[in-house]
Amino acid sequence: MVRCGVSSSSSGNVAAQDETVSLSAFEMSSSPTAEETEELPSPFANIPAIVCDHSYLPTHFGGLVDNALVYISGFVVRQILKKLSCDVCRGSLVTDAVPTSFDQSYHLLTLKNKGGLMIPSEGTVRVVRSAERFIRQSTLGQAALISEFVWAEIGSEDVFFLRGHIQETQFGIDNYHFVLMSLIVSVFHKLRLHHIAKLKTLQLQSGNTRKKLCKTILFKGY
């Protein structure tokens, strides 16, 4: 209904109970700017593009997609916290309040939150947005390939505000900044794989008689 821009009518036989206005995917998908339509970085210039599951909003994220990505980022953070033991890194992935600069993107999370949801930090949301942009622009490859794209876009910018903690690793082997980005991309990539596989399964089963008459076949109409 949101995608088609369905709205209430003032002349129908059922009157609207309030003046709530639903977000319209058509209105949110304005024409992308030159910066948003530029090609992928050079390491990925030859990767063929595919039709994504959100074809009506390919790479230009509107309010609907932004809110969904922030909500998903909270789930990604919850999964990562189970694998992290460093308190500083754990704290850099979350925030105790909704950032004022991202208040509209956090609107869905604020509405759904009853005290138990994770509020992702701005750096976490930025990495997820970058990974989602690459997934929509190219073939869905391995998580390592997506990590390289995210690294190429974000680079060494301290989006997690780790400061000096970045290099505080044993023998200088790892870098906390890139470790966190790899973890976020890995969990988000797995989540998107399941979603794309589900959509593909629904597409393949769309003409299946058993799928359409599942209850009739299994329960004999009762």
> pLDDT value at position 43?
46
- Would residue 132 count as lying in a domain? yes
- Would residue 51 count as lying in a domain? no
> pLDDT value at position 100?
73
> pLDDT value at position 60?
64
- Would residue 196 count as lying in a domain? yes
> pLDDT value at position 166?
74
- Would residue 147 count as lying in a domain? yes
Q: Quote the percentage of the chain above a pLDDT of 70.
A: 63
> pLDDT value at position 53?
44
> pLDDT value at position 185?
92
Instruction: Say how many C-beta atoms besides its own lie within 10 A of residue 145's C-beta.
Output: 17
- Would residue 37 count as lying in a domain? no
- Would residue 154 count as lying in a domain? yes
Mean of the per-residue pLDDT values of the chain: 75
The residue ranges of the chain whose pLDDT is under 50 are: 26, 29-30, 34-40, 42-57, 221-222
End-to-end CA gap in the chain: 31
> pLDDT value at position 161?
86
Number of domains making up the chain: 1
- Would residue 152 count as lying in a domain? yes
> pLDDT value at position 215?
64
- Full domain range(s) for residue 122: 62-200
> pLDDT value at position 50?
40
- Would residue 11 count as lying in a domain? no
